[in-house]
Amino acid sequence: MIKNILNLRNLSVLVLILAAWLITAYWIEPFLHYHSQQTGFLFSRDFLRSYTTYPGGWADYMAEFISQFFFYPLSGSFLVVAVAALPGFLAMDLATGTSCTRKYGISVFGVILLFGVLVMTDYRYPYYATVRLLCAFVFTWVFALLHRKNPKGSLFIWPVAAFLLFYLASGPALFVFSLSTSIIILSSRDLKYRAAVIPAMLLFAAFLPFLGYRFLYPVTLGDVYKLVVVRHPELLAYTTFYQLYIYYSLLPVILLIFFFVKQKPELLPEPKQVTGETTPKQVKGETASKVAIFKTAYGVHLLQMVILLAAGYFLFVKSFDPEKKRVLQVEYLAENGQWNELLKAVEKTERYDFRVNFQVNRAYAHLGQLPERLFAYPQLLGVYGLFYDNSTINGSLTMPNSDLYFDLGLMSESLHWAYEAQTLMPNSPRILKRLVMASLVNRQYQQAEQFLAVLDRNLLCRDWVARYRPYLTDTALAAKDNLIAEKRLFNPTREFIHLDPLSDLKFLLETNPENRFAYDYLITHTQLSSNFTDFMTYLPRYTSFGLQKLPRSWEEMLAVEIMRNRSFPDFITPETFTDETLQRFGKFNAILKQFNNDVKAARSALQKDFEKTYWYYILYLDPKVTQVLKNKTLIR
Amino acid sequence: MNKTLLKFTIGFVAAWLVSCQARVDSFVEIPRLPLIFPDYTGITIPPNIAPLNFKINEPGKAYEVRFTAGGEKPLVVRSGKSSIRIDLGKWRQMLQQGAGSDLQIDVFVKSEQGEWQKFRSIVNEISTEKIDSHLAYRLINTGYVLWNKLGIYQRNLENFDEKPILENKSVEYGCMNCHAFSRNDPDYMMIHIRAIHGGTFINRKGEMKKVDTKTNYTVSAGAYPSWHPDGRHIAYSVNNIGQNFCTGEVRIEVSDAYSDLIVYDSQEDIVTTSPAVSTANRENLPAWSPDGKTLYFTSSPPVNGLNDRIHERYDLLRIGFDVATHAWGTVDTVLSHRQLGKSISFPKVSPDGKFLMFCTSDNGYFTIHHPMSDLNLLNLETGEYRKMEINSPHTESYHSFSSSGRWFVFTSKRLDGLFARPFFSFLDENGNASKPFVMPQKDPGFYQTFIKNYNIPELITGEVKVSPLAIRNTILGPSVPAGLAAGVDTAYMKQHLSMTVK
């Protein structure tokens, strides 16, 4: 029977691990953590050294090492689950040692695994918090082993272990360790001096971080006491949420519960031999109640599994925000230039997001659809959906900015934003790759070499380095590279001060009138800012791009201009501008008139047929109308 | 495990064989200098500098380098790799014995065919003049607006030890810049902290405090500093600084809308200024003469619009100042930008008072982003000035003299055109500078993978002894507000501010 229970337990553990893997791989997808946090682990002495000078640094180093493998979707997910499961196994063993029962082991394992996965539902979650906690579990488990063998001797080892753990994994891990080991000591029947030892241990643990802060480590007090440290300027501003607090308190709480359970033997109907370390004699002794125990144990086990799975489902649904994930997916697809997939992913989004707005516009432009489909996505931020508002810029927006300027062919600005990004994430492969590419476009081969040398120390980038390193010695290769060659054609060299995106776009067109991407962005900029002067100045250039017919959104803005002036501009032919647009505009105005030009009242009537038009935008969505930029609620 | 052990053993034996091989006797002479990185050829070095480890950029399967100085037995380094790392103890001994003589470096490379090649000897000079033992600098990434981890460090130039003076992780990632010392003395130091826990940290022989040097009558807190030789007063510019990003040779222009000068008395915590240095012009970058009686500074006309602000040029001026009475003299133009056709910045007077070194660029004063920025030397006795021979096609910028004045350090981007590195050069009594060399590193390939900039290198005579913990505690504490010195014309300053600050 015991064998059955053990098998059942192992099977349950396997089921839980597989469930966790499934959830991690298909819902959470840790490669999005990699993408958003830009892990850049380097095999170099300097990189390691930078992690050794503060409490928790070693755990952070390990976390950086592990999390780089999140890059691989399946194996990364497995790694997340494996690291989350390890404390579960240790806790099961510790709980058994504290209560002398394995009856609730699956719950212990399941709860810890559950929270190990739950914390990953936030894509800004700093993975070091998991690794630091794992260190606390390992230290506690080792201490428990020593304590079982030599209770008094282990007390002398405790301060050394506490100090070492503090150095490896910082204050919160130390608190987990000290609370857990206190309960282990409390549950020991052999120790006579528990009352004196435990308060001393807890005091030591409470003050050690402070002493470390005061006399050893040039860090802040928050660094040694807080679970996570948010740096300034805020980049990946993770807000410590209840999952992480619970995750850190699980081990001491579990041990405490088991300690109390042990004090009330009536809660432990099983004989001691259920722990597994049974003797033939003990097994014989339980034969009398075989059926009853089997039923009880099986039932309890089943009940635990049901509760675990139900609680897991409930907590996961509560914690996981699929919309946030979709935004990251959109950014990930943009990073990889998967524009069609990006637009498909956007169809699934339910809320407006300024980052999605920005990437959708890029996707349209890359696919040559920007003028045709501009208003298919609500342009609630106006021109700030094209170019981020620099006054609200934060670290997360630096690379998208660099990407956009690279698209446009303006290397100085692409480099400017890439350097800003690199300041925040010095070893990010994505940023370093951009610096290499922009340097190659600029023919700055020495600089490209410098960044390639750093990338070469990243395990995941060696193939990429091998591809581009020959460009440094054989510069003809760079010239033959389509992307580099195109950007060189567009990249201006004349001296110019960047004041605003519109003047940058004009500068780009002045440099190369064939820069279609810049042209589309320029016209779109004039549309979104209702800048009719520049719109009418630059629109006639459409002929140089071989357009037979003006795209929809341009026609719509032009229709407004035609109606205002009561005349057609010279550059328009019947082929390029259709009457159908004027008719639609007439219909739009007619509906408006039906409501006596009451814009508010006409909204729902207009929305039906005209929501995705320039006309609807200027009346209802333009930030000048909505005033959304005043309180910046849309930019979070 | 066994494989690892085997690899280790083979590696060890190979290294041992290389190091124990017989001296190279037969070789083919190559009539040119070997290609080495960093370039340590034809330079003058201090007798107390750390080993000049370098990489030999010549293909080969074994390398031998012989260092000979002062007719002593050569120091031989053999390597199976092109990296040459010199033993610190032997190097020190060799430099001490060879001070004042040539250091000859013979490079031998064993070709793939097994034939040894000897390149033309590199001949360097070992000066008898020591360089100050430490260099303080800030290490920063190339970002312009945002910042993250940064710190001010000190490097022992006699070996490879680098220690933090202060890292911003200890002060909640605030920004820090403009560290300065009085007469190269590590016991007199100041550091500006920006954003979080802002203020100016001042250490005078272990007496530490954080000061807020902004007053109601000055445009900002102190920015660009210069310690008076008395170790008590610090001259600052007070600036309204902005940045503009550009396409072209200069990627970013840092410029001021307006700026003035102040002198801060760190003992009394008072600030003084004068209408003479708080004009509508943009007075900037103060630098004391070694006797402390004269304050050199740069000045540019007031601006009308962004174009002016960026493209105006600065002159070099000076004014007398009496620290005892806070009395200001009259302004005197030392060098006009019209004479040079360039803008002048970062004036620094040599400790003997004979020379004034300064940067020139096409416009403005923030030369680190100007590839055409060069170092110049003005002979204060004769008034002669010239562009120095040490310049490169890339940026040469911030410089500082050693306490003896015989050595100076400056930042240059000559290695790759992007990252600022500290270079040293010897300056003789006639103002002739030797070919500069980059600060030696333990790993000769260090600069090829190090993607931070060395910023504001300052030579100091010893280690900064106040601990990072003590500095942190002071910075995290409250600021002492600086008051205005009696005698400052407040009516004028009020009017000046109202006209300048728009």
- Indicate whether B322 and B345 sit together in one domain: yes
CB < 8 Å from B in window 574-593 of A: none
- Indicate whether B334 and B364 sit together in one domain: yes
The tens digit of pLDDT for each residue in A516-553 reads 999 999 999 999 999 999 999 999 999 999 888 999 99
pLDDT score for A298: 78
pLDDT band at A512 (very low <50, low <70, confident <90, very high): very high
- Indicate whether B120 and B139 sit together in one domain: no
In-domain check, residue B493: no
Task: Using CB atoms, pick whichever of A214, A218, A422 lies closest to residue B167.
Answer: A218
Whether the pLDDT of residue A280 is over 60: the answer is no
pLDDT < 70: residue spans in chain B: 1-22, 502
The tens digit of pLDDT for each residue in B82-129 reads 999 999 999 999 999 999 999 999 999 999 999 999 999 999 999 999
DSSP string of B84-125, one letter each residue: E---HHHHHHHHHHHTTSEEEEEEEEE-TTS-EEEEPPEEEE
Q: Which residue has the tokens 């080792």?
A: A142
* Residue among B91, B171, B95, B184 nearest B133 (CA): B184
Q: Which residues of chain A lie closer than 8 angstroms to B450, CB-CB?
A: 46
Enumerate helices (H) and strands (E) in chain A, giving the number of each. Answer: 34, 1
User: CB of B492 within 8 Å of any CB in chain A?
Assistant: no
User: Are B96 and B13 a contacting pair, CB within 8 Å?
Assistant: no
pLDDT score for A397: 86
Pairwise CA distance, residues B63 & B77, whole Å: 8
Distance from chain centroid for Cα A443: 34
- Indicate whether B60 and B141 sit together in one domain: no
Q: List the single residue in B with minimal CA-CA distance to A418.
A: B143
User: Are A1 and A290 a contacting pair, CB within 8 Å?
Assistant: yes
Mean pLDDT, rounded, for A339-355: 94
Q: Which of A461-475, A619-633, B262-276, B317-331 has the lowest mean pLDDT?
A: A619-633
Pairwise CA distance, residues A565 & A561, whole Å: 6
Best interface-test mutation with A: which of B449, B452, B469, B473 has the largest number of A CBs within 10 A? B449
CB < 8 Å from B in window 72-131 of A: none
Show the beta-strand stretches assigned E in B301-433: 315-322, 327-328, 332-335, 343-349, 355-361, 374-379, 385-387, 396-401, 407-412, 421-426
* Residue among A64, A125, A38, A136 nearest A425 (CA): A38
pLDDT score for A627: 85
User: CB of B170 within 8 Å of any CB in chain A?
Assistant: yes
Mean pLDDT, rounded, for A242-260: 93
- Structure tokens, B461: 């005579």
* 3-class SS of residue B166: strand
pLDDT band at A274 (very low <50, low <70, confident <90, very high): very low
pLDDT score for A190: 65
Pairwise CA distance, residues B346 & B458, whole Å: 13
Whether the pLDDT of residue A633 is over 80: the answer is no
Beta-bridge mates of residue B315: B299
User: CB of B245 within 8 Å of any CB in chain A?
Assistant: yes
User: Are A262 and A272 a contacting pair, CB within 8 Å?
Assistant: no
Question: What dihedral do alpha carbons A199, A202, A203, A205 form, nearest 10°?
Answer: 160
User: CB of A469 within 8 Å of any CB in chain B?
Assistant: no
User: CB of B145 within 8 Å of any CB in chain A?
Assistant: yes
Beta-bridge mates of residue B377: B357, B386
User: What is the widest separation between alpha-carbon atoms in chain B?
Assistant: 84
Residues 6+ apart with CB under 8 A from B22: none
Distance from chain centroid for Cα A419: 21
Pairwise CA distance, residues A267 & B118, whole Å: 86
How many independent structural domains does chain B possess? 2
Whether the pLDDT of residue A283 is over 70: the answer is no
- Indicate whether B25 and B158 sit together in one domain: no
Higher pLDDT residue, A187 or A512? Answer: A512
pLDDT score for B341: 96
* 3-class SS of residue B386: strand
Pairwise CA distance, residues A357 & A387, whole Å: 10
pLDDT score for A207: 97
Pairwise CA distance, residues B427 & B434, whole Å: 7
In-domain check, residue B492: no
pLDDT score for A235: 55
A67 exposed, middle or buried (CB, 10 Å; 0-12, 13-18, 19+)?
buried
- Indicate whether B476 and B402 sit together in one domain: yes
Q: How many residues would you count in chain A? A: 636
Higher pLDDT residue, A151 or A87? Answer: A87
Higher pLDDT residue, A100 or A26? Answer: A26
* 3-class SS of residue B393: coil
Whether the pLDDT of residue A70 is over 80: the answer is yes
Q: Across all residues in chain A, what is the average pLDDT? A: 90
The tens digit of pLDDT for each residue in A191-235 reads 677 778 999 999 999 999 999 999 999 999 999 999 987 665 445
Pairwise CA distance, residues A254 & A311, whole Å: 17
Interhelix angle A242-263/A105-118, nearest 10 degrees: 170
* 3-class SS of residue A25: helix
CATH of the domain at B265: 2.120.10.30
Pairwise CA distance, residues A85 & A82, whole Å: 5
- Indicate whether B6 and B88 sit together in one domain: yes
Q: Which residues of chain A lie closer than 8 angstroms to B468, CB-CB?
A: 218
Distance spanning both ends of chain B, measured CA to CA: 72
In-domain check, residue B106: yes
Range of B13's domain? 2-126
Domain end (from B95, B126, B157):
B126
Q: Which residue has the tokens 């509906």?
A: A591
B59 exposed, middle or buried (CB, 10 Å; 0-12, 13-18, 19+)?
exposed
User: CB of A222 within 8 Å of any CB in chain B?
Assistant: yes
Higher pLDDT residue, B307 or A485? Answer: A485
Q: B14-19 long-range CB contacts below 8 Å, 24 or more apart?
A: B14/B80, B15/B80, B18/B62, B18/B78, B18/B79, B18/B80, B19/B78
pLDDT score for A271: 47
| Inter-chain CB proximity B248 and A220 less than 8 Å | no
HSE of A334 in the Cβ direction (CA atoms, 13 Å)? 28
Q: Which residues of chain A lie closer than 8 angstroms to B38, CB-CB?
A: none
Pairwise CA distance, residues A414 & A408, whole Å: 9
User: CB of A278 within 8 Å of any CB in chain B?
Assistant: no
Q: List the single residue in B with minimal CA-CA distance to A432.
A: B451
The CA distance from A636 to the nearest CA of chain B, in Å, is: 18
User: CB of B393 within 8 Å of any CB in chain A?
Assistant: no
- Indicate whether B43 and B168 sit together in one domain: no
- Give the start-to-end residue ranges of the domains of chain A: 2-319, 411-491, 501-631
* 3-class SS of residue B459: strand
* Residue among B368, B167, B141, B402 nearest B253 (CA): B368
In-domain check, residue B499: no
Mean pLDDT, rounded, for A120-142: 96
pLDDT score for A188: 79
| Inter-chain CB proximity B416 and A507 less than 8 Å | no
pLDDT band at A393 (very low <50, low <70, confident <90, very high): low
- Indicate whether B71 and B164 sit together in one domain: no
Mean pLDDT, rounded, for A406-432: 95
Q: Which of A175-184, A495-504, A575-584, B435-444 has the lowest mean pLDDT?
A: A575-584
- Indicate whether B138 and B122 sit together in one domain: no
CA distances from A77 to A22, B17, B274 (A): 8, 48, 67
Mean pLDDT, rounded, for A104-133: 94
CB < 8 Å from A in window 298-327 of B: 306, 310
- Indicate whether B262 and B345 sit together in one domain: yes
- Structure tokens, A349: 């989004």
- Indicate whether B161 and B267 sit together in one domain: yes
